[in-house]
A and B are shown apart, each in its own frame.
Chain A
Amino acid sequence: MNFKFIRFQNKKIKNLIPQFITIAILLSIIIYFVTNAQINMDNRGIAFGFGFLQQEASFDITFSLIDYDGSYSYARAFLVGLLNTILVSVIGIFFATILGVIVGVSRLSDNYLIAKVAEWYVEIFRNIPLILQIFFWYFAALRALPLPNEAINFYDISFLTVKGFYVPKFIWTNFNIFLITIILAITAIYFFYNYSKKQREQFGKQLPTTSISLLIFLTFPLMSFLLFGVTLSFEYPVLKQLSPTIFTFEGGLNIIPELIALALSLSMYTATFIAENVRAGILGVNKGQKEAAASIGLNKNQILKLVVMPQALRIIIPPTTNQYLNLTKNSSLAAAIAYPDIVLVFAGTALMQTGRAIEIISITMLTYLTLSVSISIFMNWYNKKMAIKEK
């Protein structure tokens, strides 16, 4: 009895010692760093604090989703950078998913050539560093595009030039009302979907869900045009001569080449990883499932939609979430080609101007941490929703 007690005591103490040592070492490192930082900042006459965010930034940003010029504050510049990061990540995720699914499915095609081409696409683009791909598109491929006066013309409304892709700009009046109707339409569809599901499960009635949903989705916004005074017009880019040899486009929306290069390389690179996930997911579905589905008389499309995909998605989603996170983090490579994302604007220009390394780097890192955590929380929620509900 006594012996057991001593052993218990010993084990507890034995467990405490390494923990204490680790914490002590960590604390002393932190204290050492903080005191050093304190001394260094005192020497340079700067005080730690985030007050500088309210100062005037006085630098320009080439591409911004919100109003910005040099007279705005550093906080505003940070917001511009953050929005640009989110913009390129969303575009990248969208195209990477589409391309990744196509390539992943193609790799399993029973057509030998298609499967091989998809395989080599993956092998080539996965094994070249992303930064080189960005450089390639930006410095080599997109620089080979024509000048504005010889632009590649898409039906006279869009023009691809070395200075970017000029597309028509949407000009809305009462855009808010339009947005509200869209939200209303989606809510209505959601309720209708639930209602029809209930009808199907309780009374066995099959309602034409798809066509009615489509009808709702079309009529609501249409109503906003007809009844509430929402209008939409386009502003087309027009070629303008500045001097005998220099041309430029005016009006419209310019998608800058930095954004094109970045979105293109991010989606092509990430698509290879998503393709592998998709392939693994589809292969991971038991063959018996497909055979069982075929034996109860489902056709090929139904098998894919109702049996294979729901099961494959469970395998595909978790690693694909990681790829979305990676894409978001990789979008920071924007700094290498001067796309004004958060790293270039904030950790680059703003840091150079203010010299506040500790504050700015911590804010930037915290922002990325928040982005990562929010994507992974959303994806965990979705993943849980998709997981097998065992009864």
Chain B
Amino acid sequence: MNTLKPSKQNIKTYLPAGIFLIVFSFLDVIINSFFQINLVGFFPGIISYFFPLIIGFIGLYLIRVEFSGIRSLDILNKNINSNNFNAVLTLLTIFIIVKSISPLINWFFLEANFIGNSKEDCTGDGACWVFIKVWFRRLIYGMYPDPEQWRINIAFLSLFTLVGITFFAPAKIKKYFILFLIFVYPFIGIKLIGGGNFGLTYVETAAWGGLSLTFIISAFAIIFCFPIGVFLALGRRSDLPAIKYISIGFIELWRGVPLITVLFMASVMFPMFLPDGTFIDKLIRVLFAITMFEAAYMAEVVRGGLQALPKGQYEAARSLGMGYWRMNFLIILPQALKLVIPGIANTLLALVKDTPLIFVVGLMELAGMIRLAKTNPNWLGMAMEGYVFAGLVFWIICYAMSRYSQNLEKRLSTER
């Protein structure tokens, strides 16, 4: 039996035979899934179904030669073919991927419709991207009036330009750019989009929507939740009992309830707490709720960083004669925040992913607009296209954010 085992001696016959069997099994699956032709259809049902798996398994067994002397074969064996179990897993994974790729490509591209202006133009079995094309403006700008949409464009374009300039600005003036971006620009931007003076027509917040609203809410909530979170974290670590317990209560209250109930609170309960006749804009209430909610999570992340710092850092700062604020802002926080970059990034990611929830108060960002579009009588049955598109957009944003945070973490790391 030992002579039949694949080894260096019989590699000349086993290797080609193994490769042939593997290639044949792949070919069978590929042809089966792309052209619906079953090469081994003459076998009885269940055998023909498992045939590629069996053939591929034998093939992988034959090429599993230890120390074959062929570099690429060794790498292959080590990574995907180290034992029988792994060989089966490998084959199953590849076959499932091949099997699912062809319907996906068909749905996304080959049988999809791209040209046209109405549902009737979608004749194929695949996706109806016409739906996204026709509704594109609404998905991006919401109900914002068409002739005024340049304002949103300008606001975001200047934001990106400013961020770009800040990124490449010399270190000396970088600080001022960042301060301007955080404390001044948001209000300029909101004035530009909201209008009301300077000859800009007023656009009420109920008309805002689509992807731009996602960005507006995320940007504002990120800017505000971060400092609040830092102060809450400091409060929780404070020696003053009143401040400490108020901070703990505040943080745990927000963290213990779901965001959706917080938004419900902001929309139906909060107006009861205001004097009769006062009206706070829906968007502002929502922003306030999201900011407070995420600030509580941010506080816990920052607290993790504060706890991780060795006590010596506090003592050293004290021994230099620093007071509480100078110690925290110059010595403790810069180190603590750097430690928890992944946590901060995760919280901000969670914030962006939470924005679609504002549908409960009637505001419609991207997911909300898709909900509206798919219930339009002319476009019924477009849920799949809509949600796949929204999912893709959100995925790109979130994936980019998480990649950037990993990058930042590496760059700011002082460990060598």
| Partner of B243 from A18, A111, A347, A369 at Cβ < 8 Å | A18
The interface-forming segment of B30-38, B65-73, B256-264, B313-321 is B256-264
CB within 8 Å of B: which A310-365 residues: 329-330, 332-333, 335-336, 343, 347, 351, 357-358, 361, 364-365
Asked if A387 is an interface residue, CB under 8 A from chain B, the answer is no
Q: A129-B353, A140-B387 are in contact. Are A114 and B93 (CB under 8 A)?
A: yes
- Determine the chain B residues whose CB is within 8 A of the CB of A113 once the complex forms: 80, 89-90, 93-94
Q: Pick from B86, B97, B256, B276 the residue with the most CB of A within 10 Å.
A: B256
A373 CB–B CB distance under 8 Å: yes
* Bound complex: CA A234 to CA B139 (Å): 49
Q: Report if A33-B273 is in contact (Cβ < 8 Å); known contacts: A111-B80, A132-B390.
A: yes
Q: Chain B residues near A132 (CB, 8 Å)?
A: 356, 367, 387, 390-391, 394
Which of the segments B191-199, B282-290, B395-403 contacts the partner chain?
A: B395-403
Q: Please tell me if A22 contacts chain B, counting CB pairs below 8 Å.
A: yes
A290 interface hit (Cβ, 8 Å): no
Nearest-Cβ distance from residue B359 to partner chain A, whole angstroms:
7
B89 partner residues in chain A, CB cutoff 8 A: 109, 111, 113-114
- Within the assembled complex, what's the spacing in Å between the Cα atoms of A40 and B259? 26
A1-40 interface code vs B (CB 8 A; 1 in, 0 out): 0000000000000010011101100100000011011011
Given the interface pairs A111-B90, A113-B90, A129-B367, the reply to whether A347 lies near B402 with Cβ below 8 Å is: no
Does B274 sit at the interface, judged by CB under 8 A?
yes
The minimal Cβ–Cβ distance linking B99 to chain A, given in whole angstroms, is 14
**B246 CB within 8 Å of chain A:** yes
Number of interface residues of B (CB under 8 A): 56
Q: Which residues of A are found within 8 Å of B352, using beta-carbon distances? A: 129
Q: Which of A52-60, A120-128, A145-153, A184-192 contacts its partner?
A: A120-128
A139, B268: Cβ atoms closer than 8 Å? no
| Residues of A in contact, count (CB < 8 Å) | 57
Q: A23-B242, A347-B261 are in contact. Are A128 and B268 (CB under 8 A)?
A: no
Q: Which A residues are in CB contact (< 8 Å) with B398?
A: 126-128
Min Cβ gap A261→B in Å is 12
A326 to chain B, nearest CB (A): 9
Select from chain A the residue with minimum beta-carbon distance to B381: A143
Instruction: Decide if the interface of chain B is mainly helix, strand, loop or mixed.
Output: helix
Residues 321-345 of B, flagged 1 when their CB comes within 8 A of A and 0 if not, give 0000000000000000000000000
* A343 CA to B357 CA, complexed, in Å: 13
Answer yes or no: B2 CB below 8 A from chain A CBs. Answer: no
| A343-B240 CB under 8 A given contacts A127-B395, A131-B357 | no
Tell me the complex Cα distance, A351–B360, Å: 14
- A378 to B94 Cα, complex, angstroms: 42
Residue from the list A22, A36, A124, A329 in contact with B395, Cβ < 8 A: A124
CB nearest to B384 among chain A residues: A140
Of the residues A19, A40, A128, A365, contact of B272 by C-beta under 8 Å? A40
In the complex, whether B265 has a CB less than 8 A from a CB of chain A is: yes
Query: How far does the alpha carbon of A112 sit from the alpha carbon of B87 in the complex, in Å?
Result: 11
Kindly report which residue of chain B lies nearest to residue A138, judged by CB atoms: B383
Query: Is the CB–CB distance between A333 and B387 below 8 Å?
Result: no
**Chain B 249-283 interface mask (CB, 8 Å, partner A; 1/0):** 00001011111110011001100111110000000
Contacts of B257 in A (CB 8 A): 329, 365, 368-369, 372
Give Cα distance in the complex from A343 to B383, angstroms.
Answer: 24
B374 within 8 A of A: yes
State whether A127 and B388 are in contact (beta carbons under 8 Å apart), knowing that A112-B79, A368-B257, A368-B261 are contacts in the complex.
no
Digitize A34-77: 1 where CB-to-B-CB distance is under 8 Å, 0 elsewhere.
10110111010000000000000000000000000000000000
Residues of B within 8 A of A124 (CB): 395
Q: Give the distance in Å from the alpha carbon of A123 to the alpha carbon of B401 in the complex.
A: 12
Does A136 belong to the interface (CB within 8 Å)? yes
Residue picked from A33, A43, A128, A343, most chain B C-beta under 10 Å: A128
Q: Check A369–B256 contact: CB distance below 8 A.
A: yes
Given A112-B79, A372-B256: A364 and B261 within 8 A (CB)? yes
How far in angstroms is the closest Cβ of chain B from A19? 4
A368 neighbours in B (Cβ, 8 Å): 256-258, 261
Residue of B78, B86, B97, B239 with most partner-chain A CB within 10 A: B86
Which residues on A sit within 8 Å (CB–CB) of B133? Answer: none
- Is B383 a contact partner of A357 (Cβ separation < 8 A)? no
Q: Write the chain A residue with the least CB distance to B398.
A: A127
Report how far A317 CA is from B97 CA in the complex, Å: 33
Give residues 187-227 of A contacting B (CB, 8 Å): none
Whether the Cβ atoms of B374 and A111 lie closer than 8 Å is: no
Which single residue of chain B is at the shortest CB-CB distance from A23?
B242
Q: Could you say which residues of chain B place their CB within 8 Å of the CB of A390?
A: none
Q: Is the CB of A131 within 8 A of B384?
A: no
Closest B residue, CB atoms, query A25: B246
The reply to whether the CB of B354 lies closer than 8 angstroms to some CB of chain A is: yes
Residues of chain B in range 135-184 having any CB-CB distance to chain A below 8 Å: none
Residues of chain A with a CB closer than 8 A to B264's CB? 343, 347, 361, 364
Enumerate chain B residues within 8 angstroms of A332, measured Cβ to Cβ. 258, 260-261
Known contacts A128-B395, A128-B398, A357-B272: does B353 contact A110 (CB below 8 Å)? no
Residue numbers in B under 8 Å from A358 (CB-CB): 269, 272
B288 to chain A, nearest CB (A): 13
A139 touching B367 in the complex, CB below 8 Å, given contacts A37-B272, A129-B394: no
A351 touches B90 (CB 8 A): no
Chain B residues in 8 Å Cβ range of A133: 391
User: In whole angstroms, how far apart are the Cα atoms of A357 and B274 in the complex?
Assistant: 14
User: With A and B bound together, what is the CA distance between A23 and B243 in angstroms?
Assistant: 8
Contact residue among A22, A141, A343 (Cβ-Cβ distance under 8 Å from B242): A22
Contact of A111 among B82, B260, B273 (CB under 8 A): B82
Tell me whether A111 and B86 are in contact in the complex, defined as CB-CB below 8 angstroms, given that A19-B242, A26-B246, A128-B398 are known contacts: yes
CA of A20 to CA of B246, assembled, Å = 12
Within 8 A of B (CB), among A77-135: 109-114, 117, 123-124, 126-133, 135
Chain A, Cβ-Cβ closest to B382: A140
A47–B385 Cα distance when bound, in Å, is 49
How far is B371's CA from A336's CA once the two chains are assembled, in angstroms?
A: 11
Give the complex CA separation of A141 and B387 in angstroms: 10
Q: A19-B243, A110-B79, A129-B352 are in contact. List 16 more A-B contacts (CB 8 A).
A: A15-B239, A19-B240, A36-B275, A39-B276, A113-B89, A114-B86, A126-B398, A128-B353, A128-B395, A129-B367, A130-B353, A144-B384, A335-B360, A361-B268, A365-B261, A369-B253
Interface pairs (20), CB distance under 8 Å: A40-B273, A40-B276, A110-B86, A111-B90, A114-B86, A114-B93, A117-B93, A128-B353, A129-B352, A129-B354, A332-B260, A333-B357, A336-B360, A343-B260, A347-B261, A361-B261, A361-B265, A361-B268, A365-B257, A369-B256
**Which A residues are closer than 8 A to B by beta carbons?**
15, 18-20, 22-23, 26, 33-34, 36-37, 39-41, 43, 109-114, 117, 123-124, 126-133, 135-136, 139-141, 143-144, 329-330, 332-333, 335-336, 343, 347, 351, 357-358, 361, 364-365, 368-369, 372-373
